[in-house]
Structure 1
C-alpha cells in the first residue's frame, strides 16, 4: 500500500536551515508540554534513567543508538519522553530521537504529514515489509550516528499480552555499519491510564507511571558470529529479533515488580534514578529473592547467547 501523501523528507544531510529550525521548535513545544504534564500532573518514577541519558549525550558521534519499548497507548509518543532531561526538549533537542509512525494514522493528510515529520516521525506503511522506504531511511539515519526509537510490537497492544516482535528491529540492527547501542525499556501504569484506549478519549491526571530502562545489549559478538557463518538477511533478522524479544520479557517482569511495589503489592524498592538494594528483611528466603532481583536489574551490558542457525525458518515477518 503506497503512502497517501508526498514523502515528507529531503535526502539525509540536505535538510534546510528553515526545516531544522521548525523541527526544533515543534519538538520543543511538544516535548516540554509532555514533560510538564507527566512530571507535575502525574506520579512518575524512572529507574536507571542515567543509562539512557549517558548514551544520548556521550556516545561517539558516529555510533548509532536504537531504543525500544512496549506500546500501550496512542500517546506513548510523546508522553514517554518525559523520562528525558529538560534540556533534551529545549536547547539540546538536536539530540532527540527519530521514530516511526503508522502512515495510515499520522500521514493521511498533508498537514498531518508536515507536523509529524517536523517531530522526526518516519511514515511506516504497515504490512509493506522490512525493505520499505521508511526502513531504508531509518537505516541511513543510524549509519549517520542518529538515535532511532522503535515500538517493535508494531501497534498499540490493547490486551497487554505478549506479542511476537516484528522483524524490522532485526533489520535495523543487522544493517548498521557500526554495531549500535541497543537499549530496551518498559513502562507501566500511566500511559493507558492517562489516555485509555476506550471512549471517551480524555486525558487524565494523577496517575502512576513506572519506567524501567534496561542495560545496553551487547550484540557485537552475535553479529560477528552471524557474519562469519554467512547467515542470510532473514536469518540475521530472526536471530536478532528473538534476542530482543527475550530481553524484552525479562525487562517486563522486572518493571512489574518495581511498579507493583509502589502500590504495596510486591517487593519494596527505594525508587531513585538507579535501582538499589531492597530494604532488609528478617525472612532469609524473601531477602535472597530480593537480592537476586536486584542483581538482575543492575547487571552490566547484556550478553547474548550463541546462535544456532539450524533451527531457523526461512519465513519472513512483516514490519
Structure 2
C-alpha cells in the first residue's frame, strides 16, 4: 500500500526578508513622522479609532477579514508621508502595515528601486497611459492585492506563476508572479503571515490638486478589491489636505525638495459596516456585462464615503457632476500640469 504524499509545506518569510522590510518600513515611517510633526503643523482627526483598528489586527491568526483604506490623492508624497501620523511602533511592524500600489514606470525602473519598494510593501502597477498592454483592471497586481486581502489557504499547490493573464484571484498560490510575462516579483499573498492584509489605494489614479479640494472620478480597481476579496474587507475612508502645499505640482526648483512649515490635515473616518450590501458576486457576474454596472455602483459609493469625510472637515458639497468621467474631459487634452478648470494633475 503506497504512502500518501505529504501535504505541501507552508512557506514562511526568510529572516533577511523580514529584517529588510522592517528596516525600510520603519525608517521610512520614522522619517515621515519626524517631517510631519517636526517641520510642519499636522492635525489628524479620528486617529485613535484607526489605531484601535490596527491594534485589533495585530495578531494575524485572529484577523477575520482584510482592511482597505481609500483616500484622495493630492501629492506625490502622500504615500508614505500620510503614514507618518502613526506612532513609531507601527512603522516597524510590516505584518500590520499597509500594502500600496506603485507605478511600475516610476518605482520599479531598476533593481535597486524594485528591491526598495518591494521590501517597502509596494506592488508594481502598470498605468494605462504608459503600458496599455499590461495595465488595466485585470492586471496581475490587482489580483495579488485581492489575495492579500483574503483568507487562506488558496486552492492549488505552490508553483511559479509566469502567466499574466490569470483573472481568478484564487486559482493558485504561487511564490512569484509576473506583471508582463517577462519580469518576476515575489508574491506576498503566498505567505500565511500576509493573510487578511491591509491595502491602501488612491482610486483617483493620479495626483489631483484642485482649488476647491474636489475629487477626480474614481477608477474601478477599488471595486475589484471590495467585490472579489473573500470575505468582504473592512473599509475605512480617509481625506487628506495639506500635502499639496508640501509638494505642489506647480513648485519651482528644486522640485525634489519638500516644502516645510505647512499645515496638514487628515480625517480618518470610522470604518464602514462589514455587512455593507454590495450584492452577491457570482462567478458568472464577475465576467459578464452586468459586472460593469456593479463595479460602477461600488466605485460611486466608495467615492461618496470619501466625500462624507471631506464634508466633516468643513468643505462644501461638490457638484455631483465631479464624479463623472465625462466631466473631466474639461481638463483638456493634457495628461499632467495645469488644467483648464484650474486644477493641477500629477503623474501619480
Match of 1:217, SS state, is coil
Q: How does the TM-score come out when normalised to structure 2? A: 0.66
Tell me by how many angstroms 1:104 deviates. 1.0
- C-alpha contact 2:26 2:88 (8 A) present in aligned 1: no
CA 1:152–1:49 in 2, change beyond 3 Å: closer, same or farther? same
Instruction: Look up the SS of the partner of 2:18 in the other structure.
Output: helix
Which residue of structure 2 aligns with residue 186 of structure 1?
A: 239
Q: What is the CA–CA distance in structure 1 between the aligned matches of 2:71 and 2:11, rounded to whole Å? A: 28
Q: Does 1:172 align with 2:225?
A: yes
Alpha-carbon distance in 2 for matches of 1:76, 1:67: 13
Match of 1:244 in 2: 302
Structure holding more helix per residue:
1
Instruction: Name the counterpart of 2:107.
Output: 106
2:141 equivalent to 1:134: yes
Match of 2:7 in 1: none
Residues 70 and 202 in structure 2, CA contact (< 8 A), matched pair in contact too: yes
The 5 Å alignment of 1:226-241 reads 226-227=280-281, 231=285, 232-241=290-299
Following superposition, the deviation at residue 76 of structure 1 comes to: 0.6
Matched, 1:162 2:215: yes
1:207 paired to 2:209: no
Q: TM-score, with normalisation over the residues of structure 1?
A: 0.71
Q: Which runs of 5+ in 2 are unaligned?
A: 1-9, 129-134, 151-194, 317-348
Mapped contact 1:69–1:184 kept (Cα < 8 A): yes
How far the C-alpha of 1:28 sits from its partner, in A, is: 0.7
Give per-residue Cα distances to partners, 1:184-235, cap 9 Å, x unaligned.
111112x111222222222222211111111211252413x3448x854333
Q: Distance in 2 between matches of 1:131 and 1:178?
A: 20
Where in structure 1 are there 5+ consecutive unaligned residues? 1-11, 258-265, 267-319
Q: CA deviation at 1:253?
A: 2.2
Q: In the alignment, which residue of structure 2 is the partner of 1:24?
A: 22
How far off is 1:252 after superposition? 1.5
Select the residue among 39, 42, 45 that pairs with 2:43.
45
Kept in 2, the 8 Å contact 1:212–1:255? The answer is yes
Deviation at 1:145, TM superposition (A): 0.7
What residue is the counterpart of 1:145 in the other structure?
Answer: 196
Cα distance, 1:33 vs structure 2? 0.8
Of 75, 88, 108 in structure 2, the residue corresponding to residue 86 of structure 1 is 88
